[in-house]
């Protein structure tokens, strides 16, 4: 399934922390050329999150039979939207990600990257409201009026993205406080003299 998904929709290439940092520095150089006198203190990072991610994909009615799954007591469930857990869903959603990135490059003042359903952008403070407004309009027009998680949309000189804290004031990129606490909690709660379940080991790995 993974091979077939890659052949059909393309191999996923996620932006890394280094890509995001390079994007911020690249935009600052662009802004200096376009707006003489602009300072580093005018740069802000913003982010926007899509609500439901894969569930924003809808499956054609005639194809829902291909997404059926046998449950207990011989009950069968049919999925009408994209689902978490199917090998091909990330590659299918990546088509949406690439399409959105293409459109955003045409209309935004600043620069953006997109990690699945998380959009991370950089621009001047004077442009941020317009940038986020354009972004929201594009997503709601394509994916539906409830597709944006407004409570998670934010901007500022410091932001947490894909598990890292980006701090423009101190020019610092580091692991987020939440993830640091998770890792410390994992180290401090495991009894090295006892066995642990595979499920708990997987949780530790995710931390």
DSSP letter for each residue of 25-71 = HHHHHHHHHHSTT--GGGEEEEEEEBSSGGGGSB--GGGGGGGEEE-
User: Which residue carries 């998670």 as its tokens?
Assistant: 152
Q: Name the DSSP letter for residue 54.
A: G
Query: How far is CA 125 from its chain centroid?
Result: 22
Q: What is the phi/psi pair of residue 13, to 5°?
A: -125, 105
Predicted pLDDT at 69? 86
pLDDT digits (tens, 9 = 90+) for 154-203: 999 999 988 899 999 999 999 999 889 988 998 888 888 889 899 988 88
* H-only helix segments in the chain: 2-9, 17-34, 89-107, 128-143, 177-189, 198-206
H/E run at residue 77: strand 76-78
Going by pLDDT thresholds of 50, 70 and 90, the confidence category of residue 7 is very high
Predicted pLDDT at 102? 94
Beta pairing, strands 154-156 & 43-49:
antiparallel
- CB atoms near residue 120 (< 10 Å): 22
14: its two tokens = 């996620």
Residue 67: exposure state from Cβ atoms within 10 A (0-12, 13-18, ≥19): middle
Distance from C-alpha of 205 to C-alpha of 25, rounded to nearest angstrom: 32
Distance from C-alpha of 52 to C-alpha of 46, rounded to nearest angstrom: 20
Q: Is the pLDDT of residue 106 over 90?
A: yes
206: its two tokens = 């995710």
Going by pLDDT thresholds of 50, 70 and 90, the confidence category of residue 205 is confident
pLDDT digits (tens, 9 = 90+) for 24-81: 999 999 999 999 999 999 999 999 998 888 889 888 989 888 888 888 888 998 888 8
Predicted pLDDT at 83? 85
Do 121 and 15 meet the contact criterion of CB atoms below 8 Å apart? no
C-alpha closest to that of 16 among 120, 135, 134: 120
Distance from C-alpha of 135 to C-alpha of 165, rounded to nearest angstrom: 22
Report the predicted TM-score, pTM, of the whole model to 2 decimal places: 0.83
Q: Is the pLDDT of residue 117 over 90?
A: no
Predicted pLDDT at 47? 93
Average pLDDT over residues 135-147: 91
143: its two tokens = 């994916």
């Amino acid at each position: 399934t993974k091979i077939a998904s890659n052949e059909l929709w393309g191999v996923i290439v996620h932006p890394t922390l280094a890509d995001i940092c390079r994007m911020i520095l690249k935009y600052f150089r662009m802004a200096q050329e376009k707006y003489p006198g602009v300072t580093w203190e005018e740069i802000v990072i913003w982010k926007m999150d899509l609500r439901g991610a894969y569930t924003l994909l809808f499956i054609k009615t005639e194809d829902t039979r291909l997404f059926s799954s046998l449950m207990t007591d011989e009950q069968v469930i049919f999925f009408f939207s994209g689902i978490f857990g199917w090998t091909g869903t990330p590659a299918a959603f990546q088509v949406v990600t690439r399409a959105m990135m293409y459109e955003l490059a045409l209309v935004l003042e600043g620069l953006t990257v997109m990690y699945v359903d998380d959009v991370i952008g950089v621009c001047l403070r004077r442009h941020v409201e317009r940038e986020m407004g354009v972004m929201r309009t594009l997503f709601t027009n394509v994916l539906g009026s409830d597709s944006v998680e407004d409570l998670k949309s934010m901007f500022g000189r410091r932001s947490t993205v894909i598990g890292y804290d980006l701090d423009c004031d101190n020019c610092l990129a580091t692991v987020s406080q939440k993830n640091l606490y998770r890792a410390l909690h994992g180290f401090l709660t495991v009894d090295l003299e006892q066995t642990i379940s595979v499920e708990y080991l997987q949780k530790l790995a995710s931390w």
